[in-house]
Amino acid sequence: MIIKFNLLPKKEPIRVEEEKERFVFLKTFLIIFLVVIITILAEGIRLQYSFKNLRNEKVEKEKKLVEYKKIAEKLKELERENEELKKRISTIIALKENQGKGLQRIDTLIGNIGKNKIVFTELSVEISKADMSGVSSDLKDIAGYLKNLESVKDIIKEVSLNKTEKKEGYIEFKAGVLF
């Protein structure tokens, strides 16, 4: 048996010793912290800009609202004036239409006396009716007058004899006419 002795030094693989980085956690934490701070600052600046834009937009919209309120008030005022003018115009038209009707009605009431011997003691003419009282010497004259009025259908709708009273030498009557 042979025994061998190796007197040469044993070859060990060479290891490069790694230097441990110092403060790795601190460096990582610092980088993350800086990123977070920068993000917060950027978001703050963006929010400040958005807030400024919203404030400016609010001021502009408030100015427009004031303008629109003024326009709405002017519109309401113009509508009131328009309604007032419409009322005035309709009143003027109604007056123009009825302008000659009163005189025409009186003319019809007086013009139909004709040969009948009637004298009015009172005559009141309104828009839709007329009341009259008068005297006559005969009932036939009163009846003839009322028939003459009834024959004017385009102006007079209805004729009514309300009262007759015989006095000494004459007859008093009251009649009504609807136009």
Residue 99 has pLDDT above 80, yes or no: no
Q: Encode pLDDT of 51-65 as tens digits.
A: 999 999 999 999 999
Pair 116, 173 in one domain: yes
- Which of the two residues, 86 and 27, has the higher pLDDT score? 86
Q: Do residues 120 and 92 both lie within one domain?
A: no
The answer to the question of residue 89 being in a domain is yes
Q: Is the pLDDT of residue 141 over 90?
A: no
137 and 80 in a common domain: no
Domain assignment of residue 78, given as a range:
23-99
User: Do residues 53 and 32 both lie within one domain?
Assistant: yes
Question: In angstroms, rounded to a whole number, what is the distance separating the alpha carbons of residues 139 and 59?
Answer: 89
Distance, in Å, from the CA atom of 149 to the CA atom of 58, rounded to the nearest integer, reads 77
Q: Residue 18: its pLDDT value, please?
A: 66
Q: In whole angstroms, give the CA distance from residue 19 to residue 133.
A: 138
In this predicted structure, the answer to whether residue 84 has a pLDDT above a threshold of 90 is yes
The model carries a pTM of 0.47
- Supply the CATH number for residue 167's domain: 3.30.1360.100
68 and 118 belong to one structural domain: no
Q: Identify which of 153, 148, 143 has the alpha carbon closest to the alpha carbon of residue 178.
A: 153
Q: Which helix (H) or strand (E) holds 6?
A: none
pLDDT tens-place string over residues 34-52: 999 999 999 999 999 999 9
- The CA angle 148-152-157, to the nearest 5 degrees, is 110
Tokens 């703050």 sit on residue: 44
